[in-house]
Structure 1
Amino acid sequence: MTAAAARKPTPESATTRLSRLLTMVPWLLSHQGVDIDEAAAEFGVSRAQLVSDLELLFLCGTPGGMPGDLIEADWEDGKVYLGNADHIARPLRLTVDEALTLMVGLRALASTPGIAEHEAVSRALTKLEEATGAVGAASARMQVSIDDGAQQSTLTGARRAVQDHRRVHLRYLVPGRDEVSERDVDPMRVVSLDARWYLEGWCHRAEDVRLFRVDRIQGLDILEQDGTPPPHAQPRDLAGAAFTPHADDLEVVVETDRSAGWIVEYYPTQSVEELGDGRRRVTLRVSDPSWVRRLAWRMGGHLRVVAPADLAASVTSGAEAALAAYAAPPTPAPGEARPAADG
């Protein structure tokens, strides 16, 4: 192999590399003996990166890990040959609806400041447009918008702060504590994840990188201070879930009926189990269980705390105390006669 092949490839996210590998295998199988430089150009990577991908394929295959289970790759003479990979040889095929949906999403990403891989987004969009032709042209007339006017204004302000490198002051609802906090943030990027918009930035209150859901930002003011995050602030890997609980957070299990179904959309959850008839068993991780008690009381029986047992007992005792207070006779005002007893 050449010295160039031995050089370390440019770092990238695991998600991006996996996507390329899944596309690369069927293409190489249908182009046996392709020149290695031609293959690298096809996938928009360097020769060194392609060699690194081929080396990784040696470790991939069907369960078992025996030599006959792994993908075979050979590129010693500058020509790439792939074998024992027929199980993933079928290229990805999108329906027209799937392609249009993907194109609309890519256009929304391409217009978002702070997206690290604009070039990759544009390249994918171009390929989809070429593949769909006139049908795909309809996606150019579609836009992704937010119905809530206040949320749209917040999102616009967040994007402008990212673009201008300005610090922002947030009034942010923290659902885990059921309170509105005040904090200054150096914005890093605006991202869309799981159909929601987030502002990611360096939070001066937490002294760490935080992800703020746009629909929970109750106020955003762009400040005059420079908003460049500190050098050690790094964007989070968003390949997994947006919400990452702390190790000492309490695990709470609740059961909800159809009227309380909105809870799984509003609060970060660990798991949701469908029980039938609109009922769900929901697991959450919370830093302060007091807001769970208040939520259960406020829901008036539509939400029941299952675990932990002491939290469930405190919800029950609190509800009983409230009912007892309603049942007690009113305390007379100073100077007012007490009502006469029956009999």
Structure 2
Amino acid sequence: MNARTTPADSAPDQVARLLALVPYLLARGEVRLDEAAAHFGTDAAQIERDLRVLFMTGLSPGLPGDLIEVDIEALEGERVIRVDNADYLARPVRFAPSEATALVVALHTMLDVAAPEAAEVVERTLAKLEGAIGSDESPRQLHVQSQPSRGAEIVPVIESAIARGHQLELTYHVASRDEESTRVVDPRAIASVEDALYLDAWCHRAGDERVFRLDRVVAVTELDTPVADPGARARDLTQGWFTDADTTRVTLRLEPAARWMTEYYPVEGVRPGPGGTLDVDLQVSSEAWLQHLVLRLAPHARVVDPPELAEAVLRSARATVDTYERWSGTSA
């Protein structure tokens, strides 16, 4: 029988659980570790990791008396959770007028992309906040009309597919090549990053995870076919490291003289190669860009994967050398 495993959490998952964990513990005094894990739908190891983050948090300036205290001896010995010096988290939150106003504006913006069940929560929160803002001695009415994000009009189709576990057919504009392509994807989640909306999905055409900007989606259709992996978790796209659609994962083999490129280009992985070389993985959206990079690093770099790109870059390099030799012979 296989042991039950819990998928790794993203940072937002852990923050959300920590914010709920402290009031839960304060209301009960002490809680057994396995009981807390069952309450939050995770395993004991994850709760223990959360607690080791928790005791490094607290009030500014972060001196020992400002931090939340976790009884590590009780945790490791009796497997019991006890926290102290966290009473301020149980007190009602008080917002300054400017803070409350900023929060209202942010919540109105969230309504543009919120799923129906989330939108209900946002609307209830807005009603309470706007009521509190208007209940002071000088009531003020705040009207917010947010500009819908580009691509917001296709959000209902995508959310429907995600909720039903259906695949999507996308016609997508690939900006790097100024062309359109059609592919079938397994949608996972929509994320708002800065001023744009993105779809995190598994792309069957690329055979890998991809991110699609919704304002570049020309057409989208919900299919009747189910996604290949219903349990796949959405990635956290807010960190800014994700790759756009139609990029290809390329592996370069670098000799020592070309290792400098890892400090100037965004790479996904670096590992030792044969004979003192370095194998570097990076996402590439343009074959021409890759050819230019390899020529710049020559003769200290070559493409090792995928094979078709390795051959294409090699042909380009040979053609460049042939052209140079013909030009040199003509000029001599």
TM-score (norm 1): 0.48
Query: Between Structure 1 and Structure 2, which shows a larger proportion of helix residues?
Result: 2
